[in-house]
Amino acid sequence: MSNFYITIIHRPEMVPEYIQREAEQGQKEDLARNSVLQESLDIFRTQQQIAHDNNLRTTIQMTYASLFNQEAISVAKEHHEKYGDEIGSTFLGLQCQEFRDRFKSRELAIWLFSMDDKRRIVDEVFRKFQEVFGFYPTSTGSYYMDAELINYIKEKYPMIKVAIATCWEEGPKAYWNANNSWYTLMDGGPWNPWIPSRCNIHCPASDENDDIGIVAIPHLSRDLLAVFDGPGSYYGTHPQNILRGMVYEDREIPYFKNIVDQYRSMAKYNHGYAYNMMFVGPGWMSKNGRWEADYDFLIKSYQDGMAYYGRLKQEDKAIDVTMSQFADIYRQDRPYTRPECTLWKDILYGSKRQQFWYADPWMRFCLDMNQGGAMIDLRPYAAKLVRPCGVGTKYVQDASYPFLVQSLYRAGYFTHYAGEGAVKSCKIGYKGEEIDLCVCRTIASFSENGDTRIVTLDPVTIEFSQFSLQVQSIIRITEGTGEVEIIRRIVDTDDPTADITIDEYITACYGTTEYPEDLTGTQLTLRGAGRSESIDYAYQCREATVENIRLAEALVPQANTRLSMRTNIKDAAGYFREGFAFSPMYTIGIRKTVTGKGELRTWLKIEKAS
Amino acid sequence: MAQGQKGKLNYRCPRCLMREVDMDMLYDREADEYYCLRCSFTGDEQEVLRLNAQFREKYRDRMRRITEF
Ligand SMILES: [Zn+2]
């Protein structure tokens, strides 16, 4: 039995973006222009009606601006009574004359205010909400909610139980997509709901003490493959986003249903549970049309999307819940250590590519089956990095959670001669020939054995000049260990006498963007049975190998992370490789020689350094 | 020459779109063409639609309903 939960969220936004468009067309900005207010309200009403026509309940997230509008307030109250919609609050849509007068700011992103302003705004938004409705909301949200902000909210308003807290993989790619004008720099979080850590909103909490006190949901349910290498606002459960990405033909969008169905299929990786959220702001359904689509098409796409959810509900294949209802359900069956897993497949480009996404309180990572199961993204959640954002902090707009590996921002499997890219993979060697599994496309299947999640890849063929062999990769993650076990097994060979090297490695760095960061201070260490080697990173191309390796380790103070590899055998060698300024990477690895068939088993571990 | 305006439907520049940059174009009434402030693209509506159709080709499964997962 599987449960697929959907939350549909609407917000009456009184001054959507197109007021700015009119200003560009020669009109001065006027936050109280009646025609704009009326159009926004009409869109909000239309969205609500489409949901209700399909027998779906919604969460109405009241913007600050809408708390001054009688019509918006009465619609919310009426729909709460009649349809069981939840009345929540959002920090989107702050801007209105009252806000300007009170806070003297044109800032629109709650996470980018100074901490002082965040507190003042939270207090005012909730005060006004309480004044209007006579109670405090239990759900809130924005595009991003930093841990410091949520900690404050929980301290003052403990009834808050759920928040829209990130947009999945909206970082440098979203910024680029918006002609470098959209400051949602927030890569690195989970793609599905989670209970965040008090230290950093991106990290799932590791236990009750670390629990921030809310359930976080991401803004939209996104295509995990397309959005890793493309704009977040093209590929997700937001029909007008899909129009923006132009994934349609003749006004038909099967892609929307394909995303929903793939999210439904996540039940098989997550103990029968799956989730979807839709959250379209009124600015996306402007009467003027948008993204090359006229108003009729904008509306049609929304109707079609909602009709599909409605049909699933009617067929008992979906459960529509409000945000707060969802939070209660989620908490009923969610041990802190339970990971979120997804073997995502391409539903857009016509390839058979699969990527496996994994998140737990220790790490988030992605494996690419197109690259023999190589790890192409790795975020050290165990470090629980405290990284406040907003005015007055060190990072200001950069709210992303740092990576150690992000293959697209750091080249990944490398194709030119000068250096290396970030990736975790394995090389198979024979007499001077060496093949990286990154060049071996394959597919995977998922299984579970007790507390262990297992990704089993179909064997790939390695052709050396004199003979061929078959290698299989198996990745196992046992819940609560903070380790990834990686098995590379030669399952067949044409030459049972050949000495084959299996070389498991990770080439990594750290960062949040496409640009390099200074690795000075990173420490590379090899601990063997007999001796140890250690260096402080200084771009000097140093290398070392230690036989009978116990542990190969990179200590990255910039990300407060200890990244290590170990194996279960005595006769393997460990090595590290320092980079240079044109190739700012470090590599640690473990290698072993087998005759004919055999395997190498290593464990990758992520720990907080201090 | 009068000021450029936003055209109907807010056409984005199809060349910038190819590199996943959303860049609204301006419309020049006298020349009946759209133009991009970033990449120097110019073209009439037909040209924009032609390139947009080309952009969509990368989505080989855009019209395929996939139900097996
Ligand atoms: Zn352009």
Percentage of chain A with pLDDT > 70? 97
CA dihedral A318, A322, A328, A332 (to 10 degrees): 10
A348 touches chain B (CB under 8 A): yes
**Ligand 1 geometric centre to CA of A368 (Å):** 32
Contacts of B59 in chain A (CB under 8 A): 246-247, 255, 348-350
Asked if residue A91 lies in contact with residue A140, where contact means CB atoms within 8 angstroms, the answer is: yes
Burial class (CB in 10 A: 0-12, 13-18, 19+), A515: exposed
Residue A353 lies in a domain: no
A473 and A511 together in one domain: yes
Cα-based distances in Å from A205 to A146, A163, A201, A480: 14, 15, 9, 12
- Cα gap A232→A240, rounded to integer Å: 12
Q: Which of A345, A377, A404 is the last residue of a domain?
A: A345
Q: Are strands A162-166 and A215-218 parallel, antiparallel or unpaired?
A: parallel
Domain that holds residue A590: 362-608
Cα-based distances in Å from A466 to A285, A518, A593: 63, 43, 18
A268 and A131 together in one domain: yes
A178 touches chain B (CB under 8 A): yes
Asked if residue A141 lies in contact with residue A150, where contact means CB atoms within 8 angstroms, the answer is: no
Residue A352 lies in a domain: no
- Count up the domains in chain A and report the number: 2
Q: Using one digit for the tens of pLDDT, what is the confidence trace for A502-525?
A: 999 999 999 999 999 999 999 999
Average pLDDT, chain A: 95
CA distance, residue B22 to nearest chain A CA (Å):
5
Asked if residue A117 lies in contact with residue A91, where contact means CB atoms within 8 angstroms, the answer is: no
- Cα gap A250→A26, rounded to integer Å: 34
CA distance, residue B35 to nearest chain A CA (Å):
15
Q: List the domain boundaries for chain B.
A: 5-56
Closest chain A CA to residue B52: A246
Say what the ipTM of the complex is.
Answer: 0.96
Cα-based distances in Å from A502 to A134, A590, A592, A604: 66, 8, 5, 16
Amino acid occupying residue A162: V
Q: How confident is the model at residue A289 (pLDDT cuts 50, 70, 90)?
A: confident
Concatenate the DSSP letters of all residues of A354-370 into one string.
EEEEEE-SS-EEEEEGG
Q: Using one digit for the tens of pLDDT, what is the confidence trace for A53-91?
A: 999 999 999 999 999 999 999 999 999 999 999 999 999
- Cα gap A566→A590, rounded to integer Å: 8
**Ligand 1 geometric centre to CA of A177 (Å):** 12
What SS3 state is found at A268?
Answer: helix
Of A318, A76, A71, A346, give the one whose Cα is nearest residue A230. Answer: A346
CA distance, residue A249 to nearest chain B CA (Å):
7
Query: Can you say whether residue A334 is alpha, beta or left, with left for phi > 0 and alpha for psi between -120 and 50 degrees?
Result: beta
Concatenate the DSSP letters of all residues of A35-63 into one string.
HHHHHHHHHHHHHHHHHHHTT---EEEE-
CA distance, residue B48 to nearest chain A CA (Å):
10
Closest chain B CA to residue A234: B20
Q: Which residue has the tokens 């709901």?
A: A193
Contacts of A408 in chain B (CB under 8 A): none
Q: How confident is the model at residue A23 (pLDDT cuts 50, 70, 90)?
A: very low
Residue A356 lies in a domain: no
Return the pLDDT at A13.
87
Q: Do B12 and A350 touch (CB under 8 A)?
A: no
Contacts of A345 in chain B (CB under 8 A): 69
A383 and A322 together in one domain: no
Q: Which segment of A29-38, A106-115, A572-581, B29-38 scores lowest on mean pLDDT?
A: A29-38
A413 and A555 together in one domain: yes
Please report, for the domain that includes residue A589, its CATH number. Answer: 2.70.98.10
Residue A489 lies in a domain: yes
- Cα gap A542→A535, rounded to integer Å: 8
A393 and A337 together in one domain: no
CB within 8 Å of B38: residues ≥ 6 apart: A179, B13, B16, B21, B23
A514 touches chain B (CB under 8 A): no
Q: Using one digit for the tens of pLDDT, what is the confidence trace for A130-148?
A: 999 999 999 999 999 999 9
**Ligand 1 geometric centre to CA of B25 (Å):** 8
CB within 8 Å of A168: residues ≥ 6 apart: A189, A190, A191, A218, A219, A220, A222, A227, A232
A283 and A372 together in one domain: no
Closest chain A CA to residue B64: A254
- Cα gap A589→A191, rounded to integer Å: 30
Q: How confident is the model at residue A358 (pLDDT cuts 50, 70, 90)?
A: very high
Asked if residue A604 lies in contact with residue A483, where contact means CB atoms within 8 angstroms, the answer is: yes
pLDDT for A15 beyond 80: no
- Cα gap A375→A423, rounded to integer Å: 6
Closest chain B CA to residue A242: B62
Q: Do B65 and A254 touch (CB under 8 A)?
A: yes
Return the pLDDT at A290.
87
CA A589 to chain centre: 27
Q: What is the mean pLDDT of residues A339-353?
A: 98
For B63, which of A21, A25, A252 is closest by C-beta distance?
A252
Of A398, A357, A392, give the one whose Cα is nearest residue A378. Answer: A357
CA distance, residue B2 to nearest chain A CA (Å):
13
Residue A427 lies in a domain: yes
Contacts of A292 in chain B (CB under 8 A): 9-12, 52
**Ligand 1 geometric centre to CA of A233 (Å):** 19
Q: Using one digit for the tens of pLDDT, what is the confidence trace for A441-484?
A: 999 999 999 999 999 999 999 999 999 999 999 999 999 999 99
Please report, for the domain that includes residue A104, its CATH number. Answer: 3.20.20.510
For B64, which of A254, A288, A294 is closest by C-beta distance?
A254
Q: Do B65 and A178 touch (CB under 8 A)?
A: no
Residue A524 lies in a domain: yes
Return the pLDDT at B7.
72
Of A281, A276, A289, give the one whose Cα is nearest residue A243. Answer: A289
Q: Do A347 and B66 touch (CB under 8 A)?
A: yes
Q: Do A244 and B22 touch (CB under 8 A)?
A: yes
* A36 vs A236: which has the higher pLDDT: A236
Closest chain A CA to residue B65: A254
pTM of the model: 0.96
CA distance, residue A19 to nearest chain B CA (Å):
14
Return the pLDDT at A418.
83
Contacts of B21 in chain A (CB under 8 A): 176-177, 179
pLDDT for A32 beyond 80: no
A345 touches chain B (CB under 8 A): yes
Q: What is the mean pLDDT of residues A295-304?
A: 96
Asked if residue A456 lies in contact with residue A444, where contact means CB atoms within 8 angstroms, the answer is: yes
What SS3 state is found at A117?
Answer: helix
Q: Which residue has the tokens 């299947």?
A: A445
CA dihedral for A306, A312, A314, A317, sign (positive or negative): negative
A484 and A584 together in one domain: yes
Residue A215's H or E segment, with its range, is: strand A215-218
Amino acid occupying residue A602: T
For B52, which of A246, A294, A346 is closest by C-beta distance?
A246
Cα-based distances in Å from B30 to A300, A606, B1, B27, B50: 34, 62, 8, 9, 22
- Cα gap A585→A552, rounded to integer Å: 15
Percentage of chain A with pLDDT > 90? 92
Q: Do B59 and A247 touch (CB under 8 A)?
A: yes
Q: Do A248 and B62 touch (CB under 8 A)?
A: yes
Q: Which residue has the tokens 């088993």?
A: A601
Counted across chains A and B, CB pairs separated by less than 8 A come out at 86
